[in-house]
Structure 1
């Protein structure tokens, strides 16, 4: 029974990523730049809006998951700075990959397949905080200066504002808007996995030793940050399982995109992303098993979700 459950969760992730990888290795190439722009500018804000408004999440639940995401990133930042300082690695190059997990491309499909509708709700509430931080703090680290105006150009920022207004003031959303955003958001998960596979086919590993060190650090730091957040926020049940899975995802591909844009060790960052992703794929059965085990406990936050849906 457990083996079947794990197959049902991991099978689609591996299959769609493999399809993207084969496209990346074949003469029929997916245009990754167009695909990534479509995901960031259209699919992601649509998914955030449709999921958080159609499932009637409360601001309290939204705040708890956002707080868990922020706490995981804060703990990761502290541990990452310590690891990089002790190992003599470049903080500017490797701090973002250690802080920001791939909670979109890999994390969201996993929590949706593992925990269903509740996983989608909690996962999106966690993911939007990571995405906002990636496109503001992460971007600024690689740029070498604070670039908060970049955040103001992100549609997902305004999607979040719209969600807060709808939830906070109980504004009814027209069905045509819900249907449109649901259709647009529905393409995000498969598009992200295809992009992940295609990107892995084109990225090369430079300097395997530092890439392996940082990739291992990302996984271990993710586990520690998840445990700290779950304990401090007293999360149990499905919310705890969602936080654990999303916090332990590999280094996000967007880190390589920013490193390439500002020409700050892009080859080494690419190697880190590849090795981190492969390492996480190897560990996925264990990570998913742990998340499912964690989710079986009684969850005070689950009571909040039940009340918000009634």
Structure 2
């Protein structure tokens, strides 16, 4: 079982390491257009292809969306209480604890562990978390929020289009589906390499905050799995849907939280530490879930 887990996660770790090396030694991944390409075209194409190719029912999609929203609400409530107890500002610390890295790490892990059907569930969950990034994340860290920001979010648009296609039983022509398939195949490697590149660019200068960052890093996957476990018992999810929901909520702090903290002058060093420390802790959590035979 451990060999199977290692075999599934090794390509993911190798691509992250490749992105880290390329980020340190070259400028191959430096273009901001590359990230925009993935978020605006690659990820929406992956979502549409995954959902439509497995013929997910509208009810199933709505059920997964509702379950994910409930998980985020539970995590938000618990995180708010913990941050108040630790006397930390919720403005900058709540979004990193609530929103996991379901995009450029969670989706590849779901595909590696659960195959194409698991990835289809993962992209729906990730789209909901994307919405949370652009509402809770931007709203808290900036102090303001404009709903029109969602109208420019590719995965959100793809989620709505996919739901409409499923609801009206619309099937895309084979050449279009083949095109989406080809785009989905290039999306995951680029996402992982961009994650490695982002990690290579993190700058940590304040060493005295390591203990607190470690505590919050361990809290992120722990509270995510705890909240997802509650929702799994409450919702009529299939075993596969439950497994994917648990695994994706065990993901580490998202790199976008670092980007938002940099933009809005938050505790950049500490959030960078949380990303670095929560990554191995999350992979250990995934290993523990696998050991408990969620697959």
| TM-score normalised by structure 1 residue count | 0.89
* Superposition RMSD in Å: 1.7
* Residue aligned with 2:100, SS: coil
Is 2:134 aligned against 1:135? yes
Match for residue 281 of structure 1 among 254, 265, 283: 283
Tell me the equivalent position of 1:249. Answer: 251
Tell me the equivalent position of 2:273. Answer: 271
Q: Deviations over 1:88-117 (max 9, x none)?
A: 112111100110011112211111111112
CA drift of 1:282 comes to 4.3
Structure 1, unaligned stretches of length 5 or more?
296-310
CA drift of 1:118 comes to 1.8
**Take 1:267 and 1:68, find their aligned partners in 2: how far apart are those partners?**
33
* Residue aligned with 2:294, SS: helix
Q: Deviations over 1:248-301 (max 9, x none)?
A: 1001111111111222222322222222123223444224323xx134xxxxxx
Asked if the contact 1:140/1:146 (under 8 Å) is kept, the reply is yes
Asked if the contact 1:48/1:124 (under 8 Å) is kept, the reply is yes
Residues 234/168 of structure 1: CA separation in 2 closer, same or farther (3 Å cut): closer
CA drift of 1:28 comes to 4.7
Q: Deviations over 1:116-145 (max 9, x none)?
A: 122112112212111122122211111101
**Take 1:243 and 1:258, find their aligned partners in 2: how far apart are those partners?**
25
Tell me the equivalent position of 1:167. Answer: 166
CA drift of 1:234 comes to 4.0
Q: Deviations over 1:194-236 (max 9, x none)?
A: 1111111111334212211211110211121111111111435
Tell me the equivalent position of 1:69. Answer: 68
Tell me the equivalent position of 1:58. Answer: 57
Q: Which moved more, 1:22-31 or 1:112-121?
A: 22-31
Moved over 3 A (4+): 281-284
Match for residue 229 of structure 1 among 228, 231, 238: 231
* Residue aligned with 2:171, SS: coil
* Residue aligned with 1:92, SS: helix
Tell me the equivalent position of 2:294. Answer: 294
CA drift of 1:21 comes to 1.3
Residues 272/242 of structure 1: CA separation in 2 closer, same or farther (3 Å cut): same
Asked if the contact 1:138/1:255 (under 8 Å) is kept, the reply is yes
* Residue aligned with 1:60, SS: helix
CA drift of 1:81 comes to 0.3
Asked if the contact 1:119/1:238 (under 8 Å) is kept, the reply is yes
Tell me the equivalent position of 1:238. Answer: 240
* Residue aligned with 1:57, SS: coil
Is 2:108 aligned against 1:109? yes
Tell me the equivalent position of 2:85. Answer: 86
After the TM superposition, which residues 148-159 of structure 1 pair with which residues of structure 2 at under 5 Å, given as runs? 148-159=147-158
| TM-score normalised by structure 2 residue count | 0.93
**Take 1:147 and 1:137, find their aligned partners in 2: how far apart are those partners?**
11
**Take 1:289 and 1:46, find their aligned partners in 2: how far apart are those partners?**
32
Structure 2, unaligned stretches of length 5 or more?
none
* Residue aligned with 1:85, SS: helix
**Take 2:52 and 2:149, find their aligned partners in 1: how far apart are those partners?**
25
* Residue aligned with 1:204, SS: coil
Residues 174/243 of structure 1: CA separation in 2 closer, same or farther (3 Å cut): same
Aligned residues: 292
Q: Deviations over 1:147-200 (max 9, x none)?
A: 211111112222122112211111221222212222222222111111111111
